[in-house]
Structure 1
Amino acid sequence: MSTWEVPGYTGSLELGSGASGRVVLAVHEESGVAVAVKYLSESRLTRPGFVHDFRAEARLLGGLESPYVTGLYEYVESPHGAAIVMELVDGVSLRTLLARHGPLDPEAALALLKGSLLGLADAHRVGVVHRDYKPENVLVVPDGTSKLVDFGIAVDSGTGAGVAGTPSYMAPEQWTGAPASPAADVYAATATFFECLTGRRPYSGDNFAELALQHVEAPVPAEEVPEPVRALVRRGLAKDPAQRPAQAEEFVAQLEAAAGAAYGMDWEERGRGRLAALVALLPLLLPSARSTPRTTTDSARTVLSQGPRPVPARSWLPGRPGMLVSAAAVLLGLLLTYGTPLDAGTAAQEAARALATTSAGSGTAPDGTAAPGASVSPSSTPTSTVSAGPSSSPGPSATGTAGAGGEEPSASTAPPGEATSAPPGGTEGTTAPTTTAPPAPAAPAVKSVTVSGFRQTGPTTATATVDVTTDGTGPVSVTVSWFTGNTGGQPGDGDGAPETFTRSGATTYSITVEHTFQNTGCYWSIHVTTSPVPAGGDASDQLLTRRCDLR
């Protein structure tokens, strides 16, 4: 196992591992924020194809920002390793939930499906197809909401990427290697929904050939699910992708209409309540129950983004009061699980009373031995995008993505504490030894700087990925400037202040940048410079905006 760690982060616990790598719970040394770090395995690090796919995974994630998808902070690559630093989700995987509690009732299954479908919808909106939706890759957090993780084999829509996915959830066209489409994700999500309702997968087989034949030719087993959702299952599992909802967003609209008609307007609230109750019965499987206290150790090795990246969910901070609240949640969960009506006001009062009667004291969070969360299928190869690291400002929680081959939980850390150390004792008159600080690493030569993936993400927003390669691990500064204009091939006028990022500790850096344009113009441009100056010159790119696209 590789001992290389991403500069500026301290690992504390392995969350999951597999053939393609491992996921580690780590703490950003400067801010104390907990993150999940996905390391590419040593055996694959020496194979350019796997490194390329791992880098591509970071690029895809960096261009995708959604409260329903695990976020990415940064991608780091050096001669000693490659790693994706991600949010850390404090939840348990749907696979774990089904294994512990069996099938879900329709309202809970619909609420879970909707949350993860919204994650797919955000991915489809920017042209990304997940290709590996399954129970291992859906995390359920303590409030009953769900989040989609692990974009390890995701690709751009329309890409002919061959046969890939997890067989039990692969659409008929995936078996033939047809170009990736959002309709395949809708199929996999529906297969997972079927499993949530029935406790089994829609099709089975003794081998891949038999399983493929079932997916391609066998009738849709819609009669096995409750009548109100049979039409959803038939549409989602249609053999012909043209007969399925073309995008996840369309499927969400159909789901909401069917659920509202069958179960009333408050179906989603009840469904999330049931999911929250089930998660509350598994408090020791939450990564927050296994995390270590946050530190505030300074680090000069990694300089992070200038502002905090929006993080949709806060980490659950463990401790004695938190464990008492967990106990109260377990009791509430039992009531919900066995059908006793829940009075929300009474529940809140009971939780508050539990905290109010607790004597002060500190306790260590229990260290569980298995905390399942999202996982990566053994066949999956990493693919996704890059983004800046966690903010050095205190606060936002991180969320985790699927581990490389094993279930991956997410976690949060305890409140930050300030570490102090007393000076070493000595006899009077003794002169303290002096030390000389090691010299700072010399600035490396920048071999190349490139811009890729420059695309419009909204009416006034765009994203791009900047790749920098150096010949040493010393510090390098990257400055990104934006421009708007109405003439192709010319940058136009500056738009907003330039952004500067500083990196060190590696020889390859990939930074995803985003910008909201303030000025109007048919053409948007990005220009990147570095210090030291790159040997191959600066990098630029330009795109024609949708409002002016005449093609």
Structure 2
Amino acid sequence: MNGMWSVPGYSQIRELGSGASGRVVLAVHDGTGTAVAVKYLNDRMLENPAFVREFRAEAQLLGALGSPYVVGLYEYVEAPGGAAIVMELVDGIPLNALLKQCGQTGPEAALVLLKGSLLGLADAHRAGVVHRDYKPANVLVAADGTSKLVDFGIATPMGTTPGAAGTPAYMAPEQWQGRPASPAADVYAATATFFECLTGRKPYDGQSFAELAVQHVEAPVPETEAPEPVRPLIRRGLAKAPEQRPEDAEAFVAELEGVARAAYGPEWEERGQRKLAALAALLPLLFPSAGAPAQGTTALATTVLPQPPVTWSPGRRGLVAAGATLVLGVLAVFGYQAVGAEPAGAKALNAFATSSASGPAPASPSAEPSIPPSPSPSPSPSPSPSATPSPSASAAPSHSGPPSPTPTPTKSPTPTPSPSVLVSAVSVTLKASPTVGDALVSLNAKGGSVTVVLEWFRGDAPNALTVADGTDSLTAPAGPQSTVSQRHAIARGGACYLTVRVSTKPAASPQYAYATSQIPRCVVVPR
């Protein structure tokens, strides 16, 4: 690998940012003149199939979201020379650069930023995904005061336990403790960023990973440092226990709007957006468009990501081997119990930890150290996705100009063959008695038999993946209407809903199917 590979059909203009996992460049689509941001996986990561697989999964996630509050996917390209995600160019600056310049945004602007970010997170949560690395560097503020969320590189499905990963200053207590990923962790990180916008500093100022872990897990919520009208949001969003926070980003938006309207009147959002636009205007040279000749429409490149047979796995976006080893060593010190002393090697760990290349971000602002997970071994390599001409997977707006009615195709590398077994149309129904749940899974399996994995959860609300209740694995025969059934004994624990999450190997799209049922004779007590 010589590091010089570039996506065919695009002309590079300049680098916008770089990190441990790769770099982001400003480029122009040769066929339409569309300005784009291209995220390249670095050469070291390309040598590990696990990193490539999860880089591909990040692209698939972006393509599936299609949210106006999340940077959009144009195409994904993978070849022997490299791998790249071609994204919508948001002509904006990262929030961390804006905060470095102005210190604070004021409450109305901070509320606008929080609302926009929560709406992006809400779209991810509805898709069953937890971002896990929300922070100012991953929020881009456009010239008009709007914002978009970027970098889903360490995102993971809800309910999985991928280990501790994220950016320490914004990690929820349960992230430090390696507990299952939940939307409440994203709510925590968004609130920590909201606090920083209000006060000009992070909620906790520990100088080492161990010190930060203790503060996030045990220290009181510093709500009194925020303006009094918004303290309820700080108190709720930074609650130590995930069940004491809003259950997801959508629920937090409702609380935010009620607080904002009561405190600042019906015009708070318009004033806040104007304030953000004014603050962004103070940093004109940090916009991707500054000094760049790229002009054109926002026509989308026409390669879309097909449904590759890959499964989510927690590892990727690692540090170099020495850095990853140090991260694991420090995290092992506290596990489920926070410690009060800085472990040996924590300062060295800080030196190794780096942020990823998070979308079209300038290289000048300093980046927060991150704890990325290490790659998980895969039982077999996943084939590369093919690049097929069809409409783009995302139609999220760009700040580059008006849309063009007819996108121009781009040439992509020769695709690798598709797998011999294809899975689609996965669905599940569930019936629960007081002691057992009966699930019936149906699917289309072409080319061979399929492994069906059923993960059981108990909770106090429908589709709540609160308490893991076991896993079953079955084999479904090939066929257009293949079915398998499974009976599951419900563990005692008081929860009133049983949920089953179904996935397959090879993976279908969407990756998961869900069903939930209220357990008879169980009384849900209102909170």
TM-score normalised by L of structure 2: 0.62
Q: Kindly state the Cα deviation for residue 10 of structure 1 after the two structures are TM-superposed.
A: 1.9
User: CA, structure 1 residues 262+548, in 2 after alignment: closer, same or farther (shift >3 Å)?
Assistant: closer
| Aligned-partner SS, 1:36 | strand
Moved more, 9-18 or 87-96: 9-18
Q: Which residue type is aligned with residue 137 of structure 2? A: E
Residues 168 and 369 of structure 2 are in contact (CA less than 8 Å); yes or no, is this contact kept in structure 1? no
Cα RMSD of the aligned pairs, angstroms, is 4.1
Q: Per-residue CA shift, 1:467-522, capped at 9, x if unaligned? A: xxxxxxxxxxxxxxxxxxxxx95369xxxxxxxxxxxxxxxxxxxxxxxxxxxxxx
Counterpart of 1:89 in structure 2 is 90
Shift of 1:381: 6.3
Contact 1:97 1:278 in 2 (8 A): yes
Inter-partner Cα distance in structure 2 for 1:52 and 1:223: 45
Deviation at 1:450, TM superposition (A): 6.0
Q: Partner residue of 2:380?
A: none
**Residues 67 and 396 of structure 2 are in contact (CA less than 8 Å); yes or no, is this contact kept in structure 1?**
no
Contact kept? 2:23, 2:42, Cα under 8 Å: yes
How far apart in 2 are the matches of 1:34 and 1:252?
A: 32
2: CA distance between counterparts of 1:441 and 1:56? Answer: 18
Q: Which whole-Å CA distance do the structure 1 matches of 2:17 and 2:388 have between them?
A: 21
Residue aligning to 2:448: none
Matched residue type, 1:136: A
Evaluate the alpha carbon distance shift between residue 547 and residue 49 of structure 1 in structure 2; reply closer, same or farther with a 3 A threshold. Answer: closer
| 2:480 matched residue in structure 1 | 490
Equivalenced residues, count: 373
After superposition, the C-alpha distances for 1:379-427 in whole angstroms (9 at most, x for unaligned) are 44699x999899999xx8975xxxxxxxxxxx748999xxxxxxxxxxx
Query: Counterpart in 2 of 1:229?
Result: 230
Task: Summarize the Cα distance change of 1:239–1:80 in structure 2 as closer, same or farther, 3 Å threshold.
Answer: same
Residues 377 and 32 from structure 1, CA distance in 2 versus in 1: closer, same or farther, beyond 3 angstroms? farther
Look up the equivalent residue of 1:276 and give its one-letter code. Answer: A
Alpha-carbon distance, 1:55 to partner: 1.7
Could you tell me how far apart the structure 2 residues matched to 1:11 and 1:131 are?
30
Deviations 1:196-233 (A, max 9, x none): 11111111212111110011110001000011111110
The answer to whether residue 280 in structure 2 is matched with residue 279 in structure 1 is yes
CA distance in 2, matches of 1:544, 1:217: 35
Q: Give yes or no for the alignment of 1:45 onto 2:16.
A: no
The aligned amino acid for 2:179 is A
Partner of 1:446: 417
The 5 A counterparts of 1:181-260 are: 181-260=182-261
Q: Relative to structure 1, is the Cα distance of residues 544 and 291 closer, same or farther in structure 2, using a 3 angstrom cutoff?
A: closer
1:376–1:125 distance in 2 versus 1, CA, 3 Å: farther
**Equivalent in the alignment of 1:15:** 16
Partner-residue secondary structure (3-state), 1:490: strand
Kindly indicate whether the alpha-carbon contact (under 8 Å) linking 2:71 and 2:148 is maintained by their aligned counterparts in 1. Answer: yes
Q: 1:117 to 1:414 in 2, by over 3 A?
A: closer
Q: Which residue of 2 aligns with 1:79?
A: 80
C-alpha separation in 1, matches of 2:215 and 2:413: 61
Aligned to 1:144: 145
Work out whether residues 206 and 212 of structure 2, in 8 Å CA contact, stay in contact via their aligned partners in 1. Answer: yes
Give the match for residue 158 of structure 1.
Answer: 159
* C-alpha spacing 1:124/1:544, structure 2 compared with 1 (3 Å): closer
User: What is the Cα deviation at residue 255 of structure 1?
Assistant: 0.4
Q: Match for residue 64 of structure 1?
A: 65
Is the contact made by 1:33 and 1:294 (CA closer than 8 Å) also made in structure 2? yes
Residue 303 to residue 108, structure 1, CA distance change in 2 (3 Å): closer
State the AA in 2 paired with 1:279. Answer: A
Matched letter for residue 490 of structure 1 = P
For 1:542 and 1:96, the matched residues in 2 are separated by: 36
Secondary structure class of the residue paired with 1:446? coil
* CA distance, structure 2, for counterparts of residue 382 and residue 89 of structure 1: 29
Please tell me whether Structure 1 or Structure 2 has the larger radius of gyration of its CA atoms: 1
Percentage identity across aligned positions? 60
| 8 A contact 2:387–2:415 mirrored in 1 | no
Runs (5+) with no aligned partner, structure 1: 297-301, 307-368, 400-410, 417-439, 457-463, 465-487, 493-537
